[in-house]
Chains A and B, each alone.
Chain A
Amino acid sequence: MRVLEEPFMTREAILAVLGPGRPASEARFRTLRHNHYASRGLRADLRSPLGRVLGQAHFYSSLNADAARAARFGERRLAQGLADQAQEIERSHQAEVLREAVEVCGSRLGADPDPPVSLQRYLRARARASWRGLDQHAMTREWLIHSGAWLSEDEHGDLAEAIVELARRMSETRARLHCDALPPVSTFFGIVRRMDAVAAEVQGEAETRLLPREDLDRQGLAMVGQAVTLLCESLPAGGSLVLALPAVVLEAPEPSIARSPWDLPDGDGAMAVSTPIDAADQAWLTHGLAREPTAVPLAPIQKA
């Protein structure tokens, strides 16, 4: 399994790192820019195949999240250094390759009457959990920045290559600028393996973490199989912050081969199908059984 951070993020995600729990506002981002704590960002022009302007998507190197966090801790020079490096990355050839992919994907959306399933899922999830949920155009522009929107079109592997290179440059920059000098912060990459109404289990390379499902819902990430980045931070006055963001999955492990969902029981009488399940799935199911069962109302349709 190879899960990497998304190379770009939205303005809202940067502001979520700057002030956890505070609503995103243009004014706060302008202040960041004014103090050189954020890069200029990239702009993708979205046009229909006939050239009609559909809108613009703005996005920023993910190093801006580190810069925002440094700014919150009062590490001004570090924040400015990170923002400068973020700008360098945004000027790179790889960033340009990905910007074009966003434009192509966005333009295709304008021509296609049926939005892709991942966009439909994103809009549904965020509509329930975000104050911006009603603004579908803004949500669509946010979705376009996620690699899930355009990575499937990567026939020659150029986009994956660009993502790997940008991830390498970002982690090199973090090491060079000693970002680890900030209070305890860790980044966890993994894939959502199990989920219920309350919690979700994210499996990383070496460990598995649990987080409230709501945290994934808010970001439009509550889906089994979704790759996520968890930015984890111990807060100075106690407690901790976990911010879930999308991630890129480049080499997903194939789930163990299951029998076809359409296989039917055979034999006679009330014989049941026996299906082997993973021990972790069984544990998850057993946890669920400990909860209060759902009460079933009487059958609303009469038996003939």
Chain B
Amino acid sequence: MSFRRASGHDAQRFEHFRCSRGAFYEDEVEQFVCGVALEHALEFAGYNLLVFLEGERLVAVAGHHRENLLANHGDRTQLIMTTRLQVLALATEDQGRHCSDGRRVSALVLDTLINDALVGYEGDVLTAIVARENLCCLALLERHGLRSQVEYDALHVRLSGHFKRKPPIVK
């Protein structure tokens, strides 16, 4: 499997991509990916959309962008600069699939997404907004370090975590 930035040539792949098995939060993701994700990524450089391919087949789509969280303390505003893991969609046939090394495809894609989101930063705060009912995704993100949860709206929570790149091994 390999990944790259999404390009205009992927339009047909996006159109036929299916990642929902019927839950409302999966429908939300599928509508977003098949609808506006590619168009937006091509239009705005600040939005990074990645495609994960096995040969010509689209296995997963993932995206991230910078986000400033602003907290108002009356006379002053505090800013926390973060990167939002905005979408992670795995094709229905790859959900729960393991690779030859025993790792789940979802874990590999998320690790790669986290790495890509940290490009250019030694360390950073990553956030993600997840439906409260999406138990698998909540567990996956928690296992990968997004362990802090706060309410976002009636249906979603915001997860966040503080990440740091491992220093390269010097031989």
Contact with B along A174-199 (1 / 0, CB 8 A): 00000000000000000001111100
Contacting pair B1 A301 (CB below 8 A): yes
- Bound-state Cα–Cα, A20 to B153, Å: 36
A27 contacts the other chain (CB 8 A): no
- Bound-state Cα–Cα, A264 to B86, Å: 9
A121 contacts the other chain (CB 8 A): yes
Contacting pair A299 B129 (CB below 8 A): no
Contacting pair B148 A284 (CB below 8 A): yes
Contacting pair A194 B162 (CB below 8 A): no
Given contacts A265-B44, A272-B66, A301-B112, contact A282 B71 (CB under 8 A): yes
Partner of A277 from the list B70, B153, B164 (CB cut-off 8 Å) is B70
A286 contacts the other chain (CB 8 A): yes
Whole-angstrom distance between the Cβ of A122 and the nearest chain B Cβ: 11
Whole-angstrom distance between the Cβ of A38 and the nearest chain B Cβ: 35
Given contacts A223-B132, A298-B115, contact A285 B69 (CB under 8 A): yes
List CB contacts (< 8 Å) of B157-171 with chain A.
157-158, 160-166
Given contacts A194-B149, A194-B150, contact A282 B162 (CB under 8 A): no
A303 contacts the other chain (CB 8 A): yes
Which chain A residue has the least Cβ–Cβ distance from B146? A294
Given contacts A264-B36, A285-B150, A304-B53, contact A279 B73 (CB under 8 A): yes
A296 contacts the other chain (CB 8 A): yes
- Bound-state Cα–Cα, A295 to B2, Å: 23
Contacting pair B66 A268 (CB below 8 A): no
List the count of A-B residue pairs having beta carbons below 8 Å apart.
180
List CB contacts (< 8 Å) of A220-279 with chain B.
223-225, 254-255, 257-258, 261-262, 264-279
Contacting pair B147 A197 (CB below 8 A): yes
Given contacts A262-B32, A282-B80, A296-B165, contact A304 B154 (CB under 8 A): no
B96 contacts the other chain (CB 8 A): no
List CB contacts (< 8 Å) of B123-167 with chain A.
123, 125, 129, 132-133, 135, 139, 142, 144-145, 147-154, 156-158, 160-166
Contact with A along B20-55 (1 / 0, CB 8 A): 000000001000100010001000111100001100
Whole-angstrom distance between the Cβ of B151 and the nearest chain A Cβ: 5
B114 contacts the other chain (CB 8 A): yes
List CB contacts (< 8 Å) of B102-132 with chain A.
103, 108-109, 111-112, 114-116, 118, 123, 125, 129, 132
Given contacts A261-B129, A285-B80, contact A275 B69 (CB under 8 A): yes
A288 contacts the other chain (CB 8 A): yes
The 10 closest A-B pairs by CB, nearest first: A294-B145, A282-B71, A272-B66, A299-B115, A293-B164, A261-B129, A304-B2, A197-B147, A196-B148, A293-B162
Which chain A residue has the least Cβ–Cβ distance from B4? A304
Given contacts A272-B66, A293-B163, contact A225 B153 (CB under 8 A): no
- Bound-state Cα–Cα, A265 to B162, Å: 22
A51 contacts the other chain (CB 8 A): no
Contacting pair A296 B44 (CB below 8 A): no
Partner of B135 from the list A124, A194, A258, A302 (CB cut-off 8 Å) is A124
B12 contacts the other chain (CB 8 A): no
A50 contacts the other chain (CB 8 A): no
- Bound-state Cα–Cα, A186 to B15, Å: 58
Partner of A270 from the list B45, B53, B103 (CB cut-off 8 Å) is B45
Contacting pair A294 B149 (CB below 8 A): no
